[in-house]
A = this chain, B = another copy of it.
Amino acid sequence: MLGNFIYSNPTKLYFGEDSLNYLNEELPKYGKNVQLVYGGGSIKKNGIYDKVVEILKANNKEIIEDGGIMPNPTVEKLYEGVKLAREGNADLILAVGGGSCCDYAKAVSVSVHCKEDPWEKYYMKFEDVDAGTEIIPVGCVLTMVGTGSEMNGGAVITNHDSKLKIGHIFGDRVFPKFSILNPAFTFSLPKYQMVAGFYDILNHITEQYFSGEDDSTSDYIMEGLMRSLIHSSRIAVKDPENYEARSNIMWTATWALNTLVAMGKSTDWMVHMLGQAVGAYTDATHGMTLAAVSLPYYRHIMPYGLAKFRRFAENVWDISTQGKTEEEIAGEGLDAMEAWMKELGLIMNLKKLGVTEDMMDGLVKATLIMEGGYKVLSQEDVLKILKKSM
């Protein structure tokens, strides 16, 4: 059953090979000063930076340079970005990159006119943006897929001092005003980041799928999205420049986490809580932290949500059911997922991501416990899952 909800998704998407041109249609809607947010410089190598700057200049914009966004944007970087936006009177924040850049841009956008410390307000106290607080508009040019940040109000920030990596879900005022999605911009991404992004997409879906006993249209939509992702990822991992596969993956990533499939249903998000704790300790790539803890987690909770794991096996992985018990069918579904993860070349071991035994206690404490999954984990459960992930 679908519970009560409000759905509003105001982000405008420009999708396809010519989509960057539409930046020319969007820029005139905003003021002169554009804060240009990007990562470690790969966009300078592949020419996207130059193309964007050219369009900004053609539209008479002043550029506030804000590069060097790290894969897990830090609270210190957030403070720097806020300072830049204030000094430069930013009228638009334009993120060019992946989810880290989009997340960071949104975190800056709600912090520029925030009178309190944004980390305290949004991430420690989980408060909403005050109704009267001006939000700097955000636009995205996506060069990496996975997070869905291009069409939602989420922003994850990491505090290395307190070893916390926390996501805040802001409302629809904080969604990007527009996002530009060109699948060809994702071709040059190294394989490690590419497949980590693919797993991030699948996990966004499973976090929302493995929850609830009721019948919900959202689950059927998610089965479709997962089937498409699995199909296209198998093609893309062999042939990264396959436009058909990359375009489908880009679109799947957006719909996996733009709020649609969570409407009216309960969700889990426990794999993300485990993965984010690991990320805060190791700075490892987000999708890989999820990949490393997922199978131990899902095998741990499977007995508590058997019917859904059986459905996952049948409807997503086409596991035949004849002559098998429910446990066998459900287990074969997770085995099929494991085989696919290996095929992609995901890192499925925490040690390889830099986790050491002496971090265990800290990781357990840093893992927020969510209550929407098939089993509410105890600290013992968390420790057991982390150990199995080593």
Report A's interface with B, CB cutoff 8 A.
Answer: 1-10, 12-19, 22, 183, 214-217, 219-225, 227-228, 231-232, 243-245, 247-248, 250-252, 255, 260, 263-264
Q: How many copies does the complex hold?
A: 2
**Most chain B C-beta atoms within 10 Å of own C-beta, residue among A214, A225, A248:** A248
A-B pairs with the 5 shortest C-beta distances? A4-B16, A224-B224, A220-B224, A1-B244, A220-B228
Q: Which residues on the B side are within 8 Å of A215 (C-beta)?
A: 231-232, 244-245, 248
Q: Given A2-B251, A222-B224, A247-B264, 7 more contacts at CB 8 Å?
A: A2-B15, A2-B250, A4-B17, A4-B18, A4-B19, A215-B245, A217-B248
Instruction: Give CA–CA (A227, B227) in the complex, Å.
Output: 14
Q: List 19 A-B contacts (CB under 8 A).
A: A1-B243, A1-B248, A2-B16, A3-B16, A4-B18, A6-B14, A6-B22, A7-B13, A7-B15, A9-B9, A16-B264, A217-B248, A217-B255, A220-B228, A221-B221, A221-B224, A221-B225, A223-B227, A247-B264
Closest to A214 in B: B244
A228 to B353, CA, bound (A): 40
CA–CA, A224 and B220, complex, Å: 4
CA distance A183 to B22 in the complex (A): 39
Please, which residue of chain B has its CB at the minimum distance from the CB of A227? B220
| Residues of chain B contacted by A219 (CB below 8 angstroms) | 228
**Closest Cβ–Cβ distance, residue A158 to chain B (whole Å):** 31
